[in-house]
Amino acid sequence: MNNQHFVVLFHQVNYPLATRMTRHLVQAGFTFALLCEDDLKPGESLAQRLEQDTRPLLLMVSDNFLKDAACVAQLLPTLQQREPGEIQIIVLTEGFPDQAHEPVPTRLDRVGQILHYINYWQDQYLQMRKIRPDQITDPQGHDLKIKQVRKIAFEIGNLIEFLREQQTYSWEALTANHYELFFRKSGNISLHEDFKREHPFLEEDEHLEERIRESMTIFQDEHDRMVEATDHLTESLSELVTADSPRSDESTGGQEHDLLKKLIAYKNGLEEESPEEEEDDDDDWDEDESSEADSFFSDDPFPLDTEQGGHIIPLPSRDQAHLKRLVENDPENIPARLDLAAMLAEDDQYFNETTQHLEEVLRLDPKNARAFALLGQLSERYHEHKLAIRYFEKALESDPTFGPAHLGLGQILLTIDGQEDRAIDHLSEARSLMPDHAHVWETYGQALLDHGRLKKAAKAFKKVLKLDPERKDIKAKIADIYYQLGDRIKAVQYHRDTVDEPMQTDTGWPEEPDYPHTIEAIPAFDMPADTLKREDIPPTVVKPARTLTILITGATSGIGQATAEVLAQAGHRLILTGRREDRLHKLQENLKSRYGTETFPLSFDIRQEAVTRQMVKALPETWSDVDILINNAGLASGLAPIHEGDIDDWDRMIDTNIKGLLYMTRAVSPGMVARQRGQIINICSTAGKETYPKGNVYCATKFAVEALTRSMRQDLHPYGIRVGQISPGHVEETEFALTRFHGDTQK
């Protein structure tokens, strides 16, 4: 073996990944020294430890790593001083920025990432400088920290540039095909085939093979799982129920356990198909799709006995430990067991443990509504909508007054064609049972609004404002409703309240007027002019947690161009389409120079289906995964009563506003379905909600967009794809009127 001893540097948030990797690779004869900032003495850095270690290095770089002084201090010169040709494997791992619960990928492929970390360390330095002397307990230690942070602020850009110049790999690339990349980079590729043969399963769950065999016995493929989950229930119990557990004699017990068996089998079946799913966080379906389902447990109107009961939101590990002790000491403590299950339900790796707790609750109390509702939420998370409906219905059979079950059932039924009235009935019941929960009223109001019940929707949204007066987005919705109802005075009143006041930000630091706002302005230090070029940093560019690829149609003017500007400012990648190629390239250059935006222009006419299909199909691989489609292209052509209308104008509007939207959606949405994630935003109009004289065909096309948005939402929701629309009124700074009157500026 050429290189068998490695040192691994990482931030403590990536400890689970580091230990998992090393546990796998030690089976091939490798040894590892794990080193993170948590292992250091006060004042020590990882670089100091690394200076004394000549072993090959595996460096795990995450957002947390680049924002931790102990991790990055003096790291650049230490890496540069290592022997040329010495093995260094640099892996970009996910991080948890700003204490987020959901991981985000770490990327260094754009200049914006460098600026993000430069700004971060400059801000840290400025904040430390603003602390008053009378608030500092250790002046000498504080001065040392300031000097260290200042030095990091100077060096972080060069460190990231150095990392960018090296060959870096994603975590998925490192672990793919039984760590083939690691074997190759370490010079041990000849051992890889033996490792694969001897260790076919590397998952943490030692019972994985047994669970795969079990799920394969129950279901042959995903289609069978989806169908059988809603078939007639059998009398047999799940094999996952422990053999020595006493069974309830209740007549409904078999059904409940059989429902549970099908959910477990379905989940295990997903693991069978994607054994490394835990490591794949590119699919953010769980984050987007589960937020609504989770929310109805976060404000449980039936508080439990434990310290922070009733919340699905992850709680500190000591609370889980406390609940586990309660359950261990009293296995029949149903409230504690339910709270523990609610916590565990947040993390997919605890799926089996969650369902086992819920199964035990149903054994002790076969009519426990909250257990059924939690199972409904889990089913919805794994796209088992029919099974979720059955669980919520079981919860309501047990307790018709359990508000969260009404809410969960109503939310699912909203996505099913023909079930809108039933959904609204359940949401109405939920708001009656949970009158002090703003999100319940908001869900109810949105359902009413989507189905044209404007006055009732306004009343529901007003209730949201009573509970949460700062919701400007709700005020905007009420203003829009009054506008549609023709009450312009109330519309203006509510719209006025949505105008943002100057933001007052409390940083938590003492007030100190006239304090410098840039490092260059601080007179305490001499700084080379070329060290940090703040004037080169676009102050308005914001790096998003995840860079999205967004396709905007009709981007050459008006709303499309303004949307591109905003999204570029937010740091996303843009595919810009339009008919006027010169304008597309001008916009591309503008966004590149102002924000450093990656753009891909496509000049074509969306009214031509074959061309539209081919353009999307021909996108380069790096641009083919569209995260968000904004169907913006649209126009009004002519303004005449129906008996005088120009047929060519009608065809132009129908071909662009309806057919163009359909062609583009048909070309892009299959990729979203395959990836099980995505979002489609249709730009509609107030003309799609209320007609006006001589606007006949234009209004009809926008009413069609409204209908398409609703039906697309129902079609695509099961695949984790969100569909929405924006309905603006007349916007002055566009070419809308110029196009409508065929270039006649006088009209």
Q: Which of 379 and 183 is assigned the larger pLDDT? A: 183
Residue position matching structure tokens 């209320």: 690
Q: Check whether 632 has a pLDDT greater than 90.
A: yes
Q: Give pLDDT, residue 584.
A: 92
Is 209 within 8 Å of 272 (Cβ atoms)? no
Q: Which of 162 and 730 is assigned the larger pLDDT? A: 162
Torsion of CA 648, 637, 667, 615, to 10 degrees: 80
Q: Check whether 271 has a pLDDT greater than 70.
A: no
- Distance, in Å, from the CA atom of 377 to the CA atom of 386, rounded to the nearest integer, reads 12
406, two tokens: 């009404």
The CATH class, in words, for 5-198 is alpha beta
The interaxial angle of helices 285-298 and 403-413, nearest 10 deg, is: 150
Task: Name the nearest CA neighbour of 298 among 306, 308, 289, 307.
Answer: 308
Q: Give pLDDT, residue 597.
A: 93
Question: Poorest-confidence range of 132-136, 201-205, 523-527, 730-734?
Answer: 523-527
* Average pLDDT over every residue of 535-554: 68
Q: Check whether 395 has a pLDDT greater than 60.
A: yes
CATH architecture of the region 541-740: 3-Layer(aba) Sandwich (3.40)
The CATH class, in words, for 208-241+249-293+310-399 is mainly alpha
Equal fold, 5-198 vs 541-740: yes
> Residue 12, class by beta-carbon neighbours within 10 Å (0-12 exposed, 13-18 middle, 19+ buried)?
middle
* Average pLDDT over every residue of 498-509: 42
Question: Poorest-confidence range of 489-493, 713-717, 724-728?
Answer: 489-493
Share of the chain above pLDDT 70, in %: 73
Per-residue pLDDT band for 497 (boundaries 50, 70, 90) equals: low
Task: Name the nearest CA neighbour of 410 among 398, 397, 419.
Answer: 419
Q: Classify the C-alpha dihedral 481-485-490-492 as positive or negative.
A: positive
* Global model pTM greater than 0.85: no
Is 698 labeled as catalytic in the residue annotation? yes
- Collapsed DSSP state (helix, strand, coil) of residue 379: helix
Q: Give pLDDT, residue 542.
A: 52
pLDDT tens-digit series, residues 22-67: 888 888 888 888 888 888 888 889 999 888 788 899 999 999 999 9
- Distance, in Å, from the CA atom of 674 to the CA atom of 690, rounded to the nearest integer, reads 37
Q: Check whether 300 has a pLDDT greater than 50.
A: no
Q: Check whether 230 has a pLDDT greater than 50.
A: no
Strand partners, 92: 61, 170
Q: Which of 547 and 417 is assigned the larger pLDDT? A: 547
Domain boundaries, the chain: 5-198, 208-241+249-293+310-399, 541-740
- Distance, in Å, from the CA atom of 645 to the CA atom of 158, rounded to the nearest integer, reads 65
What is the overall mean pLDDT for the chain? 76
- Pick the catalytic residue: 125, 179, 663, 698? 698
Task: Name the nearest CA neighbour of 264 among 368, 382, 149, 170.
Answer: 382
